Structure 1
């Protein structure tokens, strides 16, 4: 089968990349973690899926910073217990609070995208409801492993396409979160707990799709595909989720990084690479056109320039291809007040039956000597692209401008 051939190729490539693990060496022994404030946190005003994603990333990075400061690394035995408790067990709690909240926000932002407002969240197994993402997040502190749900008045009037996009928003957001973790590792490095966060976000939709519930998202999505004229099953979900997890280079980079921490007290995790190319990552999304898999590759062209390319294709369903090239320019000058600048333009090109759908974004960041930074991101969402379907804030307009600040821990 094509799935197993891809996995075999990934494992073979891994053996060569580990031989080049010097890519993990860096002038710093810890990763660069940040706390963000984003205009996207005003959920009713901006309804920004990508803008809100800065919050769960801030939670994860703050925990990483704490782990790097508090882990007891004086001996192999102490490192093992630091790794087990602080690097693997406690992140399950943080993940239960954070990932599930962002899953539910994925439903909410797609609700608002189709005009279903007055969102309410049920943050745990009780009957209590709240009306904001942040209220849901803090409510989950006491019940991190409970289920959660999201609703909106009149959602039942949604057409088949809107109902599907809303239902898929939660599982797609978990995959988005795993991608953001991987992208941060490529750009700024990762830490030991990232293995737990990454795996749980990447495999969360797989685990959900194996449950026997007849009322959850997977069942609604299978029914939704049927109404859209597509014969796609839970087994199809599971196969693609498993492949995209265990064929991804970030998984092996994190695994190797955790081993390196246990052996050498090395906290900083960098991507495994071959001749400047990192191992590819894969992501599975559920779209109205069908199940897609996105392949992402990075290349360190020069000290200041990184190139990225993603290719996303519908493998179960309609024919659609999406190509997204990007460039990351970084300028570092420790002697100036603004010690770091970065510019990251990305183009999104969708192709279907000779039609070309264009979208894209530009992200600018600047960090000062005080370790305080600012960012500005403009995005044009083309609703016809896979990226636009999953993330565009409103049906009435395609433009989004996000601004915010961050503090480097």
Structure 2
């Protein structure tokens, strides 16, 4: 279980949604603990294990994982409202993630709206940049896309966790759900519908993208990702052996690539993640995000991940983003005991980057921002 400073909002409702991903993984991990217990009790045959897996995924998984995805989706919208100084609340009346998650648990429909409260006025440089990109149409596109982008980010997070640390089979369902965020979203002509709003904003920005393009991008992201097939292979392995651990496939030291699709202010992008294992505990990482439908843009992310087993399992990881904008991130974790660790890190985001427009926490003072975080993890 993880407890992070990123779980808390600032006084003006700002929140880095990247910090919420570990909560979703932990909730799915609790379900995995239940599956492990049930396997010990009743999983003595392949048929029994197949039944336990389907029950866990289709009953508990549908409720628990979709409840998190719904709350994360709405917090995605909220984070983009707050980044430009606008207050927001959810359909339950809650105005922060955890209150909304628990009060809306089991209800897979929701919405986020502004409250009319303005926490701050944008700096002239920020407002001029937004105006140069299309003004309110540009801003509203980023806000409308933030829900399905947040779910895709969760899939991104899980596939990285599968590679670096391994995940439980029960945590793989969230990966599939995240990659199909647009495909699973019901389109209608209601003005509050995310996909309808995205289509409208793209049209106003003279970018030719429709809901069919978004659905197709999700399908490609699922079918092309190694993590998708590893999850399915893991489900088969579980029925045969009872093993619930998922680790990414590697060939000749290279991570089998994973793909994610995002809705950006420039158009639809596809992001490819891979890595190379230099030695047992040292990895070089590469991600390439390319806007293939709309105004072409490409962003590269180079990084490294290192574990020091002889130093209490200390891990260090960092990345640098290069493209139309830049970004940086660093994180370190120290295993204090077999069941307890502490971690800390920081991110630098620029609005002009594809990554930054999804995650930058605040545009109060400038087009870029540093943010820091810390927390603890308990292993069970």
Mark yes or no: TM-score above 0.5: yes
- Assess if the C-alpha contact under 8 Å between 1:305 and 1:329 holds in 2: yes
Which residue of structure 2 lines up, in the alignment, with residue 43 of structure 1?
9
How many Å apart are 1:145 and its aligned residue? 4.0
Q: Which runs of 5+ in 2 are unaligned?
A: 122-134
Task: Provide Cα deviations, 1:248-284, integer angstroms capped at 9, x if missing partner.
Answer: 1100111111111111111111112211212111101
Which residue of structure 1 lines up, in the alignment, with residue 49 of structure 2?
79
- Assess if the C-alpha contact under 8 Å between 1:326 and 1:345 holds in 2: yes
- Assess if the C-alpha contact under 8 Å between 1:40 and 1:52 holds in 2: yes
How far apart, CA to CA, are the structure 1 residues paired with 2:50 and 2:239?
A: 6
Aligned runs of 1:23-172 on 2, under 5 Å? 35-45=1-11, 47-71=15-39, 72-117=42-87, 119-122=88-91, 128-141=92-105, 144-154=106-116, 159-172=136-149
How many Å apart are 1:370 and its aligned residue? 4.2
After the TM superposition, which of the residue ranges 272-281 and 175-184 deviates more from structure 2? 272-281
- Scaled by the length of structure 1, the TM-score of the pair is 0.83
How many Å apart are 1:234 and its aligned residue? 1.0
Aligned runs of 1:305-344 on 2, under 5 Å? 305-333=282-310, 339-344=312-317
- Assess if the C-alpha contact under 8 Å between 2:70 and 2:108 holds in 1: no
- Assess if the C-alpha contact under 8 Å between 1:43 and 1:52 holds in 2: no
Task: Provide Cα deviations, 1:93-146, integer angstroms capped at 9, x if missing partner.
Answer: 1112111000000000000001102x2111xxxxx42222111111123xx243
1:293 aligns with 2:262: no
How far apart, CA to CA, are the structure 1 residues paired with 2:253 and 2:59?
A: 34
How far apart, CA to CA, are the structure 2 residues paired with 1:234 and 1:310?
A: 25
Task: Provide Cα deviations, 1:301-357, integer angstroms capped at 9, x if missing partner.
Answer: 211101210000111111211000111000113xxxx62110001011114xxxxx3
How many Å apart are 1:61 and its aligned residue? 2.4
Q: Which runs of 5+ in 1 are unaligned?
A: 1-34, 123-127, 352-356
- Assess if the C-alpha contact under 8 Å between 2:162 and 2:247 holds in 1: yes
How far apart, CA to CA, are the structure 2 residues paired with 1:318 and 1:285?
A: 14
Which residue of structure 2 lines up, in the alignment, with residue 366 of structure 1?
334
How far apart, CA to CA, are the structure 2 residues paired with 1:260 and 1:252?
A: 12
- Assess if the C-alpha contact under 8 Å between 1:168 and 1:286 holds in 2: yes
- Scaled by the length of structure 2, the TM-score of the pair is 0.89
Q: Which contiguous aligned blocks of 4+ residues in structure 1 show a shift greater than 6 angstroms?
A: 155-158
How far apart, CA to CA, are the structure 1 residues paired with 2:187 and 2:142?
A: 21
SS at structure 1 position matched to 2:75: helix
How many Å apart are 1:42 and its aligned residue? 1.1
2:188 is matched with which residue: 212, 219, 227? 212
How far apart, CA to CA, are the structure 1 residues paired with 2:93 and 2:260?
A: 32
After the TM superposition, which of the residue ranges 53-62 and 341-350 deviates more from structure 2? 53-62
Which residue of structure 2 lines up, in the alignment, with residue 378 of structure 1?
346
Which residue of structure 1 lines up, in the alignment, with residue 240 of structure 2?
263
1:177 aligns with 2:154: yes
How many Å apart are 1:155 and its aligned residue? 8.9
- Assess if the C-alpha contact under 8 Å between 1:88 and 1:196 holds in 2: no
SS at structure 2 position matched to 1:204: coil
- Assess if the C-alpha contact under 8 Å between 2:5 and 2:375 holds in 1: yes
Which residue of structure 1 lines up, in the alignment, with residue 375 of structure 2?
404
